[in-house]
Amino acid sequence: MKNNKRYLPEGKYVMMGNVAMAEGALAAGLSFFGGYPITPSTEVIEHLSKRLLEVGGSCMQMEDELGSINAVIGASLVGAKAMTATSGPGLSLMVETISMAANLEIPFVLCDVQRIGPGSHGPVTAPHHNDLGLIRFAGHGEFQVIALAPMNCQELFDLTIEAFNFAETYRCPVFILSDAYLGHLHEPIYIPPKEEIITRVINRELPQDYTKKFSYKDDNIGGYIIPKPPIIGTDYFPLMTLHLPHNYEGLPGVSALLFMEILIEKIKTNIDKISITDEYKLDDVDIVIIAYGLPVRACYHAVDIARKEGIKVGIFRLVTVWPFPDEKVKKVVKNVRAIIVPELNYTGFIAEQVERVTKLETPIIKIPKVGVLHHPDDILKVIREVSK
């Protein structure tokens, strides 16, 4: 009875971004949310505090962000699909536990509704894609994460399901990069029928092999194997070493170097499956725009106008922002005259990656914005200048 409420009836709804994200999490099988309210992510915990009870899950408001992320990790260890939502200042408090979770390969999803920073002051409801610098190496030690950047409310729903699937499959921290603007946007979204959602969701399963519960390198096939996560309190999880590099049983026995290799390469070698990208009018381009998140929407608008003026410009969109798809970008920027990278931050975290990949052979023009969205004219102006 209770699980019938997990899925909203098929149909069209007008939803706030934060709520669409929360509904996506429920559809993905979320059963535990631990969080501490912080603008602009508060609607997530507000909505889930009602909805999780309806589906027999739990939503805990913890005493702070440290408590929140630890509760999430604990819930995931006992077999729940778990997540938290926060914003920049909360995220920075969570990184120690995120590192621990990465070490133990505990799946969880973190929705970061980014706001202006640094620090906890200022216009907290302004969007700022400033956390990517932290998220891509979210903690101490070395590990890889997955970060997805939706750009509308429908994607907040759909990509959250994808985020949970990535967490279950690759057993690494998975981030949803929302922002203050997107989180509060209202848009119509389509919720597919329950039967269709179920086919999209990867459920929590126990490892097939009793002894193999952590990722390992299989020299026979020359690849990395990621078993399903073990669940504490079952026979699969009597042993673990938190303080040492561990082998697939959770016991010491691998070198630190090999352990790092496994944590990182298990993601990097699967980049083709993890990296979701989208192309818009890229067939014959002179100029390519590389963007992610909300700024992409201003780019579509600008590109449509520029195309009418005869400028050959297109968009390469990163849906998966991290890991960065080096090979795809190399292919896209081949033979282009210039690359435009509009980002909702000053530094240009993705522009830096593009610079690394292109070895500075092609001019890269950043369009930084902080706290306000790119107006289509901001992008159009640069396109026109570059095309001269």
Partner 1 sequence: MTRYEVRISGFGGQGVITLSKMIITASSLYENLAATQTEAYSASARGGRCWAEVVVDLDKEIKIINYPKALKPYDFLIILSEESANLIKPEDIKKDENTGYLIWDPSTIKKFRAVRRIEKALSIPVQILAVENFGNIVFGNSILFGAFTILSGFISEESAIETIKNFVPSSTLDKNLEAFELGKKEAQEFLKQLKEGKD
CB of 19 to partner 1, least distance (A): 13
Q: Supply the minimum distance, in Å, between the C-beta of residue 46 and partner 1.
A: 14
Question: How far apart are alpha carbons 325 and 317 in whole angstroms?
Answer: 11
Query: Cβ of residue 26: shortest distance to partner 1, in angstroms?
Result: 21
Q: Please list, in sequence order, all residues whose beta carbon lies within 8 angstroms of the beta carbon of residue 77, skipping any fewer than 6 positions away.
A: 104, 106, 231, 232, 237
Nearer to partner 1 by Cβ, of 13 and 137: the residue is: 13
Shortest distance, position 184 Cβ to partner 1, whole Å: 6
Separation CA 115–CA 372 (nearest Å): 11
CA angle 256, 259, 261 (to 5 degrees): 110
Nearest-angstrom CA–CA distance, 276 and 320 = 5
**Cis, bond preceding 363 (omega within 30 deg of 0):** no
- The two tokens of residue 313 are 């410009």
Closest approach of Cβ 140 to partner 1, in Å? Answer: 34
Binding residues (CB under 8 A) for partner 1: these are 12-14, 39-40, 124-125, 152, 154, 180-181, 184-188, 294, 297-298, 300-301, 304, 373, 375-376
Nearer to partner 1 among residue 86 and residue 152 (C-beta)? 152
Task: Say if residue 143 is exposed, middle or buried (CB neighbours under 10 Å; 0-12, 13-18, 19+).
Answer: buried
Residue 320 three-state SS: strand
Min dist. Cβ of residue 300 to partner 1 (A): 4
Compute how many other C-beta atoms are within 10 angstroms of the C-beta atom of residue 192.
16
Task: Pick the closer one to partner 1 by CB: 136 or 307.
Answer: 307
Closest separation in Å from C-beta 180 to partner 1: 8
C-beta closer to partner 1: residue 77 or 180? 180
Determine if the peptide bond prior to 123 is cis (ω within 30°).
Answer: no
Q: Which of 115/266 has CB closer to partner 1?
A: 115
Looking at the Cβ atoms of 184 and 328, the one nearer to partner 1 is 184
Identify which of residues 79 and 293 has a Cβ nearer to partner 1 in the complex: 293
Sign of CA dihedral 189, 193, 197, 203: positive
Nearest residue to 329 via CA among 382, 292, 295, 298: 292
Find the shortest distance in angstroms from Cβ 47 to partner 1: 16
Q: What is the largest CA-CA distance in the chain?
A: 67
Cβ proximity to partner 1: between 189 and 339 the closer is 189
